[in-house]
């Protein structure tokens, strides 16, 4: 049994590195040979919110800083308010009934 069995590791590392480099070059050539157009991206969303008119927008300085987002969501719609409160429930601890429009 040899005391210096680690001598072969440099040669093994060189072979592995060479194989990794040549395989990455081969993959780059395969993907570069494909179409030059970028692939299309599909984004799934529940719905697109309607654009608000400037007249219905809530002025930013009307409410306290930590309430601006919830007040703007309440002015948008009940669904927007519900989503905002759900997203920020652990941060602000807002309640829906406190900000829902009274009807």
The answer to whether residue 88 scores a pLDDT higher than 60 is yes
Note whether residue 89 is domain-resident.
yes
Note whether residue 84 is domain-resident.
yes
The answer to whether residue 20 scores a pLDDT higher than 90 is no
The answer to whether residue 85 scores a pLDDT higher than 90 is yes
Note whether residue 71 is domain-resident.
yes
Q: How does pLDDT run across 40-63, given as a tens digit for each residue?
A: 776 766 565 555 554 555 565 666
Note whether residue 4 is domain-resident.
no
Which is higher by pLDDT, 67 or 24?
67
Closest to 83 (Cα-Cα) out of 66, 64, 62, 100: 100
Note whether residue 47 is domain-resident.
no
Note whether residue 70 is domain-resident.
yes
8 A C-beta contact, residue 96 and residue 82: yes
Burial of 80 per CB tally in 10 Å (0-12, 13-18, 19+): middle
Note whether residue 45 is domain-resident.
no
Structure tokens at 48: 């697109």
| Domain region containing 86 | 65-99
> How many domains does the chain divide into?
1
């Amino acid at each position: 049994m040899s005391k210096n069995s680690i001598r072969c590791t440099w040669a093994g590392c060189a072979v592995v590195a060479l194989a990794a480099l040549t395989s990455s070059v081969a993959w780059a050539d395969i993907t570069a040979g494909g179409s030059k157009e970028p692939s299309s991206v599909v984004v799934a969303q529940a719905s697109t919110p309607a654009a608000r008119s400037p007249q219905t927008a809530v002025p930013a300085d009307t409410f306290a800083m930590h309430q601006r987002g919830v007040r703007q969501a309440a002015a948008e719609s009940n669904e927007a308010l519900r989503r905002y409160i759900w997203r920020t429930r652990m941060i602000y601890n807002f309640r829906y009934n406190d900000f829902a429009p009274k009807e």
